[in-house]
Chain A
Amino acid sequence: MRPFTKRPAAGLAATTIVAALALSACSGGASTTPTTAAPSAVSQAAIDAAMTTKTDLTFWTWVPNIQDEIDLFEKKYPAIHVTVVNEGSAHYTKLRTAIKAGTGAPDVAAIEYQYLPSFTQGNSLLDLAPYGAAKASGDYASWIWSQVSNGSAVYAIPQDVGPMGNLYREDLLSAAGITPPTTWDEFAADARAYRAANPDKYFTDYPGNDAGAFVGLLWQAGARPFGYDGKKTVTINLESPEAEKVVNFWNPLVKDGVVAVDPDFTDQWYQSIANGRYASWQTAAWGPVFLQGTAAKTSGLWRAAPLPQWDASKPTSGNWGGSTTAVMKSTKNPIAAAQLALWLNTQHEPSLMLATKQFLFPASTSILKDPAFIDEKSEFYGGQQVNKEFAAISATVVPDFSWLPFMDYAYSSYNETMGKAVADRTDLAAGLKAWQTALTTYATQQGFTVK
């Protein structure tokens, strides 16, 4: 459980860094002590010194085969050794436990966007701005960068994102005489027509267990249900006209049994996706590759398109999922850890590899323009350039979405309130109200001021 083995070399490294810092004038004790004032930048000399000192880093991530990218990193910085650990589904539980215990946390960890505030709230993440992260902001769309930064502080480097689009079965839709819907109104009409013609099939599934997907749809509609000022005040507003618009749209479809309400990512759901029980899936940019693995026998039958729109003249989308690379404040090697997070996601070679080998949908604008990524044709989607499609969608995601510092609770209470209403096909508006109440109660109990 203790990734930090005390070695003489590590002690030596510390003194070298301190010396380097002292030499590079006015860059005082940068970031080693938590201060509220913006820490000053770490000099290049200090970075060079740290990157050539023997160092062991631990990196918790769930990305399969990321060791390939790490090998490149270690080749470039032979003094740094990175141990990749996959903690599986207990990732956050273990991370939080380690932070609470004060020992055993990794230096670098993958964290999804929505959970970043819960870690900054506990002051557990290192501000990466002094380590050169501020310069990286130009490589990301503003809706992405705003999720990892607060003022001048940068708490993580974006790795992948999930702008939402619509995957559909070309064969099933054309057999039913339906063209892919471009507006939500069309979508509702198509869903009803499709259901009427296919009594044992559904136009789509609307799961009651996936707050992430629902929040993505709220995001697209312009709702801003959550907010956090980084201190004590949270905003919980699930009863805005935009949120109501989304809920009132799905309410009749769910109540009338037009759409399926199976929980997603369950065996039942996998089967339905693979055997054509659902004709479409409103999903994120990571969906296409995911589907390819899940429904291999339906290869060539799927197509990708933007989400249906509320206003066809102003195409917009929301985001569902994606993750970042963050550095724990407890790290004993802040410079090397920050450089790893930056290198992995901002250097061209590793970030292109993440997109083409690990199939993460890139957050970085330069990869989103790279022909090696966007020109790829997918057989599964009948030769369509799916990456190009989603890269275009990525540019339409509405900016300024933010999260609560307790999204774990928010997501789990969604299942009990709104999600339960979906599963039982009862009034979704009442479910949404119950979710709002649950969140407000919890926030107050935890000492937040609710706005």
Chain B
Amino acid sequence: MSQIALTRRGPELVAVRPHRRGGLKRRQAIASYLLVAPFFLVFLTMLVLPLVYAGYLSLFRDQLVGGTVFAGLGNYMRAVQDPLFLEGLLRMLKFLLIQVPIMLSLALLFALALDSGRLRLQRVIRLTIFMPYAVPGVIAALMWGYLYGPDFGPFAQAARAIGLPAPPFLGSQWMLGSIMNIVTWSFVGYNMIILYAALRSIPTELYEAARVDGAGELRVAWSIKIPALKPALLLTTIFSVIGGFQLFNEPNLLRSLAPNVIGVGYSPNLYVYNLAFVNQDINYAAAVAFLLGIVIMIASYAVQLGALRRERRS
């Protein structure tokens, strides 16, 4: 999925170097297979097998009355016409188009600020920005749920204290924005670390050369750092797109605070969960999950393709 990013970034990808002596080469080859074997074992049993099983399940229809019958692509046909699923997808698309640019811009800004070397207490600041990522998603959603509270939350109380109505963070108009805020807060530090690490790997001679040519800090950031960050930005974008489509924790937990605002299909992942465990429709849930996976693949491919085109043009 993120091949471009990795091959362009990665000398670390080169696992086996060609050697002259055949025996050593073979022994090294065996060793490297042994080293990757545990991963592939887990990958097969925990990912590929369940996927195959889910794919198999998605082809059947299990009714409460009448039992299981082969449905072919019936579940998929139902899903592409299911307003709840489509609304959820659309909502996530809106979420991504707004949230990902905001989050990555912030992450980029922080990374550049840290890399400029002009900040005091650099490590403390870096750690502080990264810290929300260390807070488990569930805790984050609970914490923000409290902050958003319409009666008891500190924002509402502050608003009331100065005679304003409480902001309806958990109302149907604001909810998506409220969730975007939680996700941004959680992941800005994570993305910042990736970008910052990429910045650290830019050869400093380039900066010196630029300064000799009379470039200021902003010019260096614009003409050297950001272009060099492209692969890392692509990587973080793809991660964010994948993560965004899979939104589950935040809506699921805020749901208990605003059950009539967040419906069963608020995010596609939440919908799959409710289909499987509330409606007891495992087969249909499997089909919806597969479709979601396909949408995510298409979306991440589109992001890559977009980046590739831009590169060719320039």
Contact = CB atoms under 8 A, between A and B. Distances in A.
B279 interface: yes
A383 to B, nearest CB: 31
Given A267-B146, A409-B279, A447 B256 contact: no
Contact of B63 (A268, A408, A416, A447): A447
Given A446-B65, A447-B66, A448-B64, A423 B279 contact: no
A122 B280 CA distance: 12
Interface residues of B, number: 25
Interface string A71-108: 00000000000000000000001001000100000000
Contacts of B256: 266
**Majority SS of interface residues in chain A?**
helix
Interface in A395-413: 405-406, 408-409, 412-413
A420 B65 CA distance: 30
Contacts of A448: 64-65
B15 to A, nearest CB: 39
Contacts of A423: 260-261
**Majority SS of interface residues in chain B?**
loop
Interface in B3-17: none
Given A93-B277, A263-B260, 20 more contacts: A209-B259, A266-B256, A266-B257, A267-B152, A267-B257, A271-B151, A271-B152, A406-B64, A406-B279, A408-B278, A408-B280, A412-B264, A412-B274, A419-B259, A423-B261, A424-B172, A442-B279, A445-B63, A446-B63, A447-B64
Interface string A437-451: 000001001111000
A68 to B, nearest CB: 30
15 contacts: A208-B259, A266-B256, A267-B152, A268-B149, A268-B150, A268-B151, A277-B151, A409-B278, A412-B274, A415-B264, A419-B260, A423-B261, A424-B260, A442-B279, A445-B63
A423 B257 CA distance: 12
A-side interface size class: 20 to 34
A277 B152 CA distance: 12
A300 to B, nearest CB: 24
Contacts of A422: 260
Interface in A264-308: 266-268, 271-272, 277
A409 B172 CA distance: 23
B263 interface: yes
Nearest to A406: B64
B258 interface: yes
Contacts of A266: 256-257, 259
A272 B257 CA distance: 14
A183 interface: no
Contacts of A93: 277
Contacts of B279: 406, 408-409, 412, 442
A330 interface: no
Contacts of A267: 145-146, 149, 152, 257
Interface string A201-220: 00000001100000000000
B274 A268 contact: no
A120 B282 CA distance: 19
A419 B258 CA distance: 11
Contact of B151 (A208, A272, A415, A424): A272
B281 to A, nearest CB: 8
Contacts of B264: 412-413, 415-416
A369 interface: no
Contacts of B63: 445-447
Given A268-B152, A416-B263, A263 B257 contact: yes
A84 to B, nearest CB: 24
Interface string A100-136: 1000000000000000000001100000000000000
Contacts of A420: 260, 263
A377 interface: no
A7 interface: no
Contacts of B146: 267
Nearest to A422: B260
A357 interface: no
A413 B263 CA distance: 9
Contact of A268 (B257, B263, B278, B282): B257
Nearest to A418: B260
Contacts of A419: 259-260
